[in-house]
Amino acid sequence: MIKQILGRLPRKPSKSSENREFGGSSTPSSNATSGSSSYDLVSNRPMNTDHMPLPGFDSASNLGDGQGSKFPQVGNPRLNGNSVVAPYEALPGFRDVASFEKQNLLIRKLNLCCVLFDFTDPTKNLKEKDVKRQTLLELVDFITSANGKFTETVMQEVIKMVSVNLFRSLSPQPRENKTLEAFDLEEEEPLMDPAWPHLQIVYEFFLRFVASPETDAKLAKRYIDHSFVLKLLDLFDSEDPREREYLKTILHRIYGKFMVHRPFIRKAINNIFFRFIFETEKHNGIAELLEVLGSIINGFALPLKEEHKLFLIRALIPLHKPKCLAMYHQPLSYCITQFVEKDCKLADTVIKGLLKYWPITNSSKEVMFLSELEEVLEATQPPEFQKCMVPLFRQIASCLSSSHFQVAERALYLWNNDHIENLIRQNRKVILPIIFPALEKNGCNHWNQVVQNLTVNVRKIFSEIDPELFDECLQKFKESEAKVEEIRTQCDASWKRLEEIAAANSTK
C-alpha cells in the first residue's frame, strides 16, 4: 500500500531538464546559475526555477543560427508569413510579478522574442508582431533600469535573442554597376529593411545591454566572442543606413568595454578594407567603419606602434584607390589627419601615398585629394615637407594647369592657408621654378576668370617676397617659351617642305 502511494507522488525534475528549460549551457558555471540555485537579477535572492516552458516551444531543441552548440534553440522560431501554430501571446509585465520571479520572466520574454516574422507581407501576423514589439520595448526598459549584475544565464539568453534577430543574410543589391555610378548613388533613396520596426528595438536593447554598468565584461566576453564580432561586422554591409548607424555605435561600445577584443576588431576591419580595395570595391559600411576607426586612432598612445603605422600604409592610404571614394572620403581624411597629428614624421609617407593614388581623369576625386592634402600639410613640419615638396609641387603645378576650373581653383586656395604659405615661403627657391610656368600660363590663358584672379594674387605673393627669384624665373620662362616657339617654327617649316616635295612628286 505504501509503495502504491509513493508511486503516485510527482517526481522531482532532474537538473538537466531544468538547464534545458532555462537555456543553460553544459558548462558547470552556467549550470550553477540556471539550476535550482539561480538568483534573481535585481535582488540576488534565490528564485524558483520550477516554471512552465513557453507554449509551442520545444525546450530541448537547439537554436543554432550560426552559434554552434553554445545556445539552445527554440523549436521552429521563424514564421514565413503563415499563421502561428502555437499561441503567441503577451507575457505579464515585470511590475506584475514578484521580485524573485523577474529573472524567470526575463528569460521567457527573451525566448518569446526569438520568434521571427515575415515583414515582406505587412498584412500577416499583425497581432503577433505587435506582441513582440511591445515585449521588446519592455525588455529595453528593464535592461535600462536594472540595478543588479546580470547573471550568466541572462547574458546567454540575451546574446541568443540578439543573434537570432540580427544575424541574417542581407538582401542582395539589385543595382548594377554600383562602382561606376558611385556619385549618382548619393542622390538615390537607400533601401530600407522592412523588418526595421523590430530590428530597431533589438539594436536599442543590445546597445543598452552592452553600455550597462550591470554587464560584467569578463563574463559577457564568453558570449560576445570573436565569432559574434565577425557576424556583427558582416552586418555593416546592410543597405539600410539606420542599421549601420546603430552598428557603428554598438561596435564602438564593444571596442571600449571589451579590451581583450580590440586587436581582433582592428584586424577584422583591416580585412574588410583589403577585400573592398583589392577585390570587390563594393561595401555599404566603409564610411561607418572609418568613423569608428577615427575615434580609435584618436585614442592611440604615443609613440605609435608599428602595427598602427602598417595599418595606415597598407589599408587607409590604399582606400583612396576605389572609384567610390566620395562615399567615405570625409571620415577617411579624418583618420589620415589623426595619424599625422600624432606623429608628424608620417606626413612624408602620407603625402607620397596620396601622390601614388592621385587621379588622372577624375576631376571630382582631384578636388577631394586637394582638400585632404591641405589638412595633411597643415599638420606637416618643415623637415617632412622638404622630403616630399618636389614631387608634391609637380602635381600641384599640374592641377594649376587643369582646364577644370574647380581643380585649378582648389589648388590655388592652398595659398590661403597661413601654415602652408609659410612652408612655401621658406622653400620658395625650390618650389617657384616648378610652378612658375603654370602660374604664368594661367594668368594669361585660363578660360575661367576666378582662376585668373587667384593666379595673379599668387604671382604677386612671390614677386613681393623675392623679386630677384621671380624675375629669374620669369626670364627662364621666356627663354623656354622662345625655344619652344623656335622648335615649333622649325617643325612647321619641315612639314611645309615635305608637303612641297610631295606635291612636286605627284605632278610628275
Q: Could you tell me which residue, 102 or 110, shows the higher pLDDT?
A: 110
Grid cell digits, residue 441:
600660363
The helix-helix angle for 152-166 and 196-211 (nearest 10°) equals: 150
pLDDT, tens digit, for every residue of 215-263?
Answer: 999 999 999 999 999 999 999 999 999 999 999 999 999 999 999 999 9
Query: Hey, what long-range contacts does 28-35 have (CB within 8 A, 24 or more apart)?
Result: 29/152, 30/152, 30/153, 30/156, 33/151, 33/152, 33/153, 34/153
Q: Could you tell me which residue, 85 or 307, shows the higher pLDDT?
A: 307
- At residue 27, φ and ψ (nearest 5 deg) are -80, 150
Go through 310-333 and write b for each residue having 16 or more CB atoms within 10 A of its CB, e for each that does not. ebbeebbbbbbebbbbbbbbebbb
**Cα(19)–Cα(430) distance, integer angstroms:** 77
Q: Could you give the count of Cα atoms lying within 13 Å of 211 in the half-sphere of its Cβ?
A: 15
Grid cell digits, residue 358:
592621385
What ranges do the domains of the chain cover?
Answer: 18-170+191-224
- Confidence check: pLDDT of 81 > 60: no
Which pLDDT belongs to residue 86?
58
* Coil/strand/helix, residue 113: coil
- Confidence check: pLDDT of 336 > 60: yes
Confidence of residue 508 (pLDDT cuts 50, 70, 90): low
What one-character-per-residue DSSP string does 176-225 give? Answer: SSTTTTHHHHTTSPPPPPTTHHHHHHHHHHHHHHHH-TTS-HHHHTTTS-
pTM over 0.85: no
Indicate the length of the chain as a whole number.
Answer: 508
- At residue 357, φ and ψ (nearest 5 deg) are -100, 15
- At residue 62, φ and ψ (nearest 5 deg) are -110, 145
Which pLDDT belongs to residue 187?
55
